[in-house]
Amino acid sequence: MTTRMTLRERRASETRCLILDAAYHLFASHGYGQTSVDAILLEAGLSKGAFYHHFVSKEELFKVLLEDRQRRCVEQMASAVSPASSRRDAIERLVTVALEFNEADPDWVRMYFEFCVQAMREGFARDVVARSLSECRAIVAEMLKGGQERRVVRADVATAAAAFLLIGIFDGIALQRAIDPDAASPSELADITADLIDKFIQ
């Protein structure tokens, strides 16, 4: 049974989305450190009271944005592969979805690396980004373990280390694409990356 939101709840949800959208745009275009709460509120057309009703601080906003994007990426990857897919097809589909996720939203790539830079400067950001990366690695490692159980991934593959490496590959691709997008096409990268992963785990 679907529960309908009251008018007050709907307005609160819309206000929260306005704050998140404004912060997302400003963090990506100006950087986290250069973006104040006042700038976010000016962009969103809201008052400070509205901000602090939904978020304790700019740091909490940072955390929510990162967690939201991670959740969306995981959901897309989880729904990308059919159980009947061959190993090579499954790998290629997962790689394609991961690359398309970044290609579809260049602001996300800028903001992600802004988060990473911030994580190397501030303790709170380091904890948030480290936890996010740890959760992503755990998801990838579980996928590899599932492949080992189905005997489509080599039993001697160290899944935790392999997950670390694979996320590093995707981060590296995203960074290079953001700086030099004409160096290689997404389709070329998807094909080559899928080949490398397939050869590594078979």
Helix axes 123-149 and 58-78, enclosed angle (nearest 10): 10
Tell me the pLDDT tens digit for each residue of 89-146. 888 888 888 888 888 888 889 888 988 988 998 788 898 889 889 988 998 898 889 8
Domain end position, chosen among 9, 36, 55 = 55
Instruction: List CB contacts of 62: < 8 A, sequence separation 6 or more.
Output: 27, 32, 115, 118, 125, 128
Burial of residue 3 (CB within 10 Å: 0-12, 13-18, 19+) is: exposed
For all residues of the chain together, what is the average pLDDT? 88
Q: What is the CATH number of the domain that holds 161?
A: 1.10.357.10
Asked whether residue 178 falls in the same domain as residue 131, the answer is yes
Domain, as residue range, for 121: 58-201
Looking at the fold, whether 33 and 64 belong to one and the same domain comes out as no
Instruction: Give the ranges where 5-86 is alpha helix by DSSP (H).
Output: 7-30, 37-44, 48-54, 58-78
Examine the domain organization and report whether 160 and 80 are in the same domain: yes
Tell if the pTM clears 0.75, that is, is over it.
Answer: yes
Q: Are residues 45 and 68 in the same domain?
A: no
> How many structural domains are present in the chain?
2
